[in-house]
Amino acid sequence: MEIQTKLRLNYWQIIFIGFGFLASSLAWAVYNAQVPLILDERFSLSRTLIGTIMTIDNFFGVILQPLIGTWSDNTHSRFGRRLPWIALGLPICALLFTLVPLQTVLWQFMLVIVSFNFIMALWRSPVVSIMPDVVPSPLRSEANGIINLMGGVGSIIAFYYGGVLSDLTEDKFYAFFMASIIMMLALILLFLFVRDPDSLLYKETHGILIRNSLANRWARLSQQQFTEEYSALVDENSNTESTVKQRTSLTAFLDLPSQKQKSLAALLIAIFAWFMGNNAIETFFTLFATNTYGISGGQATMMLAGFSLAFLLFAVPAGRIGHKFGRKRTILIGLIGFIIIFVLIIAKPSQMLLQFLLIIAGFFWAFININSLPMVLEFATLSSIGTFTGYYYMFSFSASIVSPIFYGFLQDIFQTNALLFVFALVCFIVAFSSFLFVKHGEEHL
């Protein structure tokens, strides 16, 4: 009980960590908005080729995220476990991003964006793993809400200011340049204000002076909030060679007790299923809305913006609700809410009611999305956080690859846009059914 009273979220520390996610979200928002336009206007590629090219990041995510997560778990330095990966990848990405709009030959353009996607994969998982490195279990849902709020701010900056800047020149250079500048600013803030407890352990082990900086003081406070987990981390660092050998083969899942293996498998299947449904809606909603309601593509996009804004506004409250009432219960409420909303949309409501339902769905999406990563991380120890973060992204990215292709195939067969929310409903029913078998993942001390 004494330990519990000491647990307190360091909001400024989480905000500075969130700048890393803000930079990543901003870069992807600019990339997803501008690259298809360049491929169409400059290189006149078909929609199929453009769609294929835009899935490159997901393929790298599926392949690399579990590996990078494990490798970052095994990294020990004076800057901690994650910052070296961010310091390696982020500046190269910022440079490559400025080069993207300047390419006028297709193979050179492809070389730059493939390189950008590959390097982004090197620091995407580590930048997310910093938060659970410094935040104990009971506070992670709320912290994840703040992180996602920062990511949403990055997307808004990209959509608004990126849109304005992209129109200044024909090559859209300034939108990419803005994103690169913000990425570098995020790196500076991370190095100035963020350290994880492992960085202190490394310095103590190697006799390196620990300066009285704000980052180190915050790292020490984080260290004090971990009890048994930190003691285990100390033990593992004292035998680094055996630890590395144990973790490089991605056996973290197999090392879990059988009941936890079943529970984590059910959770990951649920994550895959609800991202299948969500990605289908994100990809095909404009086609559904324009054909069903006879509205313009711009109007359909604005309807989805209501969903995104609701998620953004409810990100932090959803984390607090997960902390107070339990993550599983909160996610189940979100899943049931989605299922009810999809049934109502299948009944073809009015356009105004559809807009209202999408806004409510944004709130329910926050219930699910904010609390799911912290649930996955409950299966990890401090020394395997990166690995389990990689598992989460492997399943969510897999859904991002499979969903548009599979639903597009179904739509081509049945030649109707009306199947979209039927498909999403089935996906969320599968997610709900699988999630009922999750018996672990609640916060612990």
CATH number belonging to domain 251-444 = 1.20.1250.20
**Are the beta carbons of 134 and 222 closer than 8 angstroms?**
yes
Domain residue spans in the chain? 9-236, 251-444
Do the domains spanning 9-236 and 251-444 agree at the CATH topology level?
yes
Confidence (pLDDT) at 382: 79
Phi-psi region of 208 (alpha: psi -120 to 50; beta: other; left: phi over 0): beta
pLDDT-derived band at 217, boundaries 50, 70, 90? very high
Tell me the residue type at 329: R
Minimal CA–CA distance to 317: which of 247, 367, 248? Answer: 367
Q: In whole numbers, what is the pLDDT of the chain averaged over residues?
A: 87
**Is the model's pLDDT at 241 over the cut of 90?**
no
pTM across the whole model: 0.84
Confidence (pLDDT) at 368: 96
Minimal CA–CA distance to 250: which of 346, 384, 150? Answer: 384
Rounded CA separation 15/30 (Å) = 22
The pLDDT tens digits of the residues spanning 95-132 come to 999 999 999 999 999 999 999 999 999 998 899 899 99
**Are the beta carbons of 152 and 308 closer than 8 angstroms?**
yes
Q: What CATH class is the domain 9-236? A: mainly alpha
**Is the model's pLDDT at 211 over the cut of 70?**
yes
Rounded CA separation 34/28 (Å) = 10
The pLDDT tens digits of the residues spanning 17-71 come to 999 999 998 998 888 878 888 888 899 888 778 878 888 888 888 888 888 988 9
**Are the beta carbons of 254 and 390 closer than 8 angstroms?**
no
Confidence (pLDDT) at 246: 45
